[in-house]
Amino acid sequence: MIRIALTKGRIEKKAVEILARAGYDISELEDKGRKLVFRLGEADIEVVLAKAADVITYIEHGVCDVGIVGEDTIMEHGKHFHELLDLNFGKCKFALAGIKGRDFYEGYTHKIIASKYPNVTKNYFNSKGIDVEIVKIEGSVELAPILGLSDAIVDIVETGSTLKENGLEVYEDVAYISTRLIVNTASIKLKKREIDELVSRISAEIE
């Protein structure tokens, strides 16, 4: 048996579509109610729905074999697993953004950056050799510069409409991201045949 940890929400819908195209029976996932564990019909595969950061925890602890998760979460939480496929959906970017029309680098004062992704933010500014103060925010990070808490944010930009509707703009692109298929380091050897089959069926359906 192999167990897939699937990020619930935006990624889930597209991932379930790919599983269906790859020939798996996704009927339990279509009518899921509040259930969290599902079988893919007769295939010896179980799917669990989890929050993105927890997908990584389950893979790293070996209680799930295969994970489907955004590269944003991978960049924030580390990489003690194999990354096998770029699923080529959920494409967006990390960007440094702030109040429209301002020069982020103006002046000599220490900058404050708000983000849901403190590690991504720290790594980005370290790579530029700039020391910043990072404030962790849990959601709607766009509020931080509007309220005057921070000089800028590091956040995900997909369509750009959240920034635009709040008077903000991208100052710099930080990294392009997409959804990835990851595998536990032991499972890749111990369940090679099952994982190879799943990966080849999924990779044939990547757009």
Binding residues vs ligand PRP (CB under 6 A): 139-142, 155-162
- Total number of residues shown for the chain: 207
Least gap, CB of 165 to ligand PRP (angstroms): 8
Cβ atoms of residues 62 and 186 within 8 Å: yes
Written as six digits, the tokens of 11 are 């990624």
Residue 124, number of CB atoms within 10 A of its CB: 21
Residues 99 and 1: their CA atoms lie apart, in Å, by 51
Least gap, CB of 193 to ligand PRP (angstroms): 37
Least gap, CB of 30 to ligand PRP (angstroms): 23
Least gap, CB of 146 to ligand PRP (angstroms): 12
The nearer residue to ligand PRP, 25 or 169, going by C-beta atoms, is 169
Residues 74 and 177: their CA atoms lie apart, in Å, by 10
The nearer residue to ligand PRP, 164 or 189, going by C-beta atoms, is 164
The nearer residue to ligand PRP, 56 or 157, going by C-beta atoms, is 157
The nearer residue to ligand PRP, 33 or 139, going by C-beta atoms, is 139
80 CB contacts (<8 Å, ≥6 apart)? Answer: 60, 185
